[in-house]
Structure 1
């Protein structure tokens, strides 16, 4: 159902390096790019993330209550993605941990532009 989700960024090269670096172990890479937008994912036929300089030329603003949630596949992958994001310049917004007993394990970061990202595993 979801084709892609877009987050606004200030620096395309930095954003592409951050997201493709964080998501590389999940098989994602930059699939297509144009002047002010790039699509990152496993394939053009699966949901993707796009990073974009806003069309109106104004500063990108992270939304209050907006969050990108990336399924990690395991608790260990949640930990690894959180660690990798921090290494690539994210700020911690919630260390990895069990949020709902036996149901939801997650970790949270803010990308270099302040967009909130959750890495999670159900089960």
Structure 2
């Protein structure tokens, strides 16, 4: 199964470099620019993630309860991705840690306030 997810932005000039650096830190690169504004990142094998101008032309808003998660193979990778997001200007929304049931999650928000997470079920190293 492949995953495709997108978030909206009201400032693509800031958002695209944020995602180029953040997603670049896990080996994802820009696939193409969206004709309506924004960019798509990822790969056919791993899925796609986009930051775009909303199609309806209305301002982008943060969805209450909406979140995009990125799966990793280790707790260190989760912590590193979270740290990279904060280094790039993202904000903390739940530091990396055990969330029960063998899960390890970290939550943060991008520059527009969209909620993202990094997660794994890998045991501690």
RMSD over aligned Cα atoms: 1.5
Q: Superposition pairs for residues 91-110 of structure 1, below 5 Å? A: 91-101=91-101, 103-110=102-109
SS at match of 1:96: strand
Structure 1 94/3 Cα, relative in aligned 2: closer, same or farther at 3 Å? closer
Give how far 1:13 is off: 2.7
Give how far 1:95 is off: 0.4
Write the deviation string for residues 45-98 of structure 1: whole angstroms up to 9, x where unpaired: 541001111122221111111100001221001111111000111110000101
Work out the CA distance in 2 between the residues paired with 1:84 and 1:45: 23
Work out the CA distance in 1 between the residues paired with 2:121 and 2:62: 26
Work out the CA distance in 2 between the residues paired with 1:44 and 1:106: 25
Q: Superposition pairs for residues 14-29 of structure 1, below 5 Å? A: 14-29=14-29
Work out the CA distance in 1 between the residues paired with 2:45 and 2:73: 20
Contact 2:95 2:107 in 1 (8 A): yes
Gaps (5+ residues) in structure 2? none
Q: TM-score scaled by structure 2? A: 0.88
Structure 1 3/118 Cα, relative in aligned 2: closer, same or farther at 3 Å? closer
User: Could you list the runs of 4 or more consecutive aligned residues of structure 1 that deviate by over 4 angstroms after TM superposition?
Assistant: none
Work out the CA distance in 2 between the residues paired with 1:91 and 1:25: 17
Gaps (5+ residues) in structure 1? none
Give how far 1:3 is off: 4.6
Residue in structure 2 matched with residue 85 of structure 1 by the alignment: 85
Work out the CA distance in 2 between the residues paired with 1:3 and 1:23: 15
Q: TM-score scaled by structure 1? A: 0.89
